[in-house]
């Protein structure tokens, strides 16, 4: 029997669970969302599947890191404004501290620490975790053959490198067609507080040291804060889109970073647990030490907190309108289609030999059949990676 998903939880419980997730959540947004689905839908039963899916769709429609915004949505649902701040902050803080430590070592030694052995073993587990979440969520989200078709179309468009926002909008419009043909009018009182800014998906073009020999703009913390507030307010898409924004401002325009420093910063954001946007923390530390790291982290994540607080109250109202609910269903299915394609792409990179395939298969059995907590699997895989790397 499902527990009451609206039961009140303590701030301490909210903080500890998100600190844990922020510490073990390797693998990027798809993996983070998968871990949250396991933790909050199936294990703790804080949300129903539909509530989780609705917030997943909303998180994909607003700028900023979708998995962090999912954490903020959960905190807001359980404990209002206080929960919003606690959940989001606790999900971000472990990664920010780890990235700061790596940045300090980078400044001192001039290179990144080697974590290849750990990631080698953890990535296959992450693939299994994402597959489990994808399967559970898709069974609830794909309610009709038409929605399934929309999911397939969305996956194809994503593989063709169509902009993510365009895909979500197309999916929403297609999902609304059956309702429009039935001439169902939207319910009263439904409004929207979501701003959309389509972005063309940039190609990653690395220049030679274009900034070399050019005078850098004067650095100050206020300018750093405003830059990251801008990026956090308008950025949709993956870490590659983030790389394009950072390169444009920090390398080409201001000349605060070299190409190598920027790529190292993005690499740290990708290989550490927690939000990929902690790339900003690394850059902030390089430019301004600990104060710079704090300012950059606050700047890039603050817009997500504000946008979730604004959009959160509208999600239940959207569900009360047949037309708006249909559009949201289409967006949800498209979001899951993107998650499925990303899983396939990550799987090709993670399952590189028989050993990684065995890790993935064992993890899948433990997750699907025995319902083992993903945190223990990730920890066990990290230990295996360290042991294997030492030999």
Q: How many residues does the chain have?
A: 391
String of b and e for 265-281 (b: at least 16 CB within 10 Å)? bbbbbebbbbbbbbbbb
Question: In this structure, what DSSP letter does residue 114 have?
Answer: P
Interval 171-208: pLDDT, tens: 999 999 999 888 544 444 444 333 333 333 333 333 33
Q: How far apart are CA 155 and CA 358, in angstroms?
A: 27
Closest CA to 25 of 11, 16, 35, 17: 35
pLDDT digits (tens, 9 = 90+) for 141-159: 999 999 999 999 999 998 9
* DSSP string of 292-311, one letter each residue: HHHHHHHHHHHHHHHHHHHH
pTM: 0.76
pLDDT tens readout for residues 268-327? 887 788 888 999 999 999 999 999 999 999 999 999 999 999 998 888 888 888 999 999
d(CA 252, CA 254): 6
């Amino acid at each position: 029997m499902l527990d009451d998903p609206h039961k009140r939880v303590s701030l301490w419980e909210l903080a500890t669970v998100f600190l844990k997730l922020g510490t073990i959540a390797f693998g990027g947004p798809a993996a983070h969302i998968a871990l949250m689905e396991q933790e909050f839908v199936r294990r703790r039963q804080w949300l129903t599947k539909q509530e989780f899916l609705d917030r997943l769709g909303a998180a994909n429609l607003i700028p900023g890191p979708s998995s962090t915004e999912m954490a903020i949505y959960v905190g807001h649902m359980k404990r209002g404004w206080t929960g919003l701040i606690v959940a989001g902050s606790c999900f971000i803080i472990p990664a920010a501290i780890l990235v700061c430590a790596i940045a300090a070592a980078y400044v001192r030694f001039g290179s990144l620490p080697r974590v290849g052995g750990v990631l080698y073993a953890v990535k296959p587990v992450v693939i299994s975790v994402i597959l489990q979440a994808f399967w559970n969520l898709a069974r609830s989200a794909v309610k009709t053959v038409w929605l399934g078709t929309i999911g397939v179309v969305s996956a194809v468009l994503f593989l063709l490198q169509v902009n993510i926002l365009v895909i979500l909008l197309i999916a929403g419009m297609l999902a609304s067609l059956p309702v429009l043909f039935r001439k169902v009018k939207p319910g009263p009182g439904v409004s929207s507080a979501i701003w959309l800014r389509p972005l063309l998906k940039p190609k990653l073009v690395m220049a030679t040291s274009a900034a070399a020999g050019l005078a850098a703009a004067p650095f100050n913390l206020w300018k750093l804060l405003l830059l990251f507030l801008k990026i956090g307010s308008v950025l949709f898409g993956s870490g590659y889109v983030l790389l394009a924004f950072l390169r444009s401002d920090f390398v080409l325009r201001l000349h605060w970073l070299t190409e190598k420093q920027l790529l190292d910063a993005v690499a740290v954001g990708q290989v550490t647990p927690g939000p990929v946007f902690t790339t900003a923390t690394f850059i902030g530390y390089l430019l301004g030490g600990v104060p710079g790291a704090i300012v950059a982290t606050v700047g890039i994540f603050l817009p997500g907190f504000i946008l979730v607080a604004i959009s959160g109250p509208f999600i239940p109202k959207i569900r009360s309108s047949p037309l708006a609910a249909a559009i949201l269903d289409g967006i949800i299915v498209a979001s899951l289609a993107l998650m499925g394609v990303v899983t396939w792409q990550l799987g090709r990179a993670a399952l590189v030999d028989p050993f990684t395939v065995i890790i993935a298969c064992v993890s899948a059995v433990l997750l699907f059949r025995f319902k083992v907590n993903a945190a223990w699997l990730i920890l066990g895989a990290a230990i295996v990676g360290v042991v294997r790397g030492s030999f």
